[in-house]
Amino acid sequence: MEGWRLLLPALAFGLAHSYQGVAGMISTGLVGLILGALFIGAGGNLWLPILVHGVANSIGITLIFTNADRLLGTLLFH
């Protein structure tokens, strides 16, 4: 029963990103699930999920800025 406390908000978070298409809903739902699990694992402390979210965003922005995201996409999916 505890799992619903994590799964339902992650599902709602993913569905709220429907404007990004199916891939956007899945990826944001998974991110929500991971960050929620970190929050629960940290005993309700927000600092670990905040730090992980910031690092992930910084990596993503750097990949986009350097066009490395396109290279990774080509290597992984083509």
Mean per-residue pLDDT for 1-9? 81
Average pLDDT over residues 20-40: 94
- Count the domains in the chain: 1
Q: Which distant-in-sequence residues (6+ apart) come within 8 Å of 7 by Cβ?
A: 33
* pLDDT of 4 higher than 90: no
pLDDT confidence of residue 77: 82
Domain that holds residue 27: 3-77
Q: What is the pLDDT of residue 1?
A: 55
First-to-final CA distance of the chain: 40
Mean pLDDT of 44-72: 93
Rounded CA gap, 51 and 54, in Å? 5
Question: Average pLDDT in the 17-41 region?
Answer: 94
Residue 3 is predicted with a pLDDT of: 76
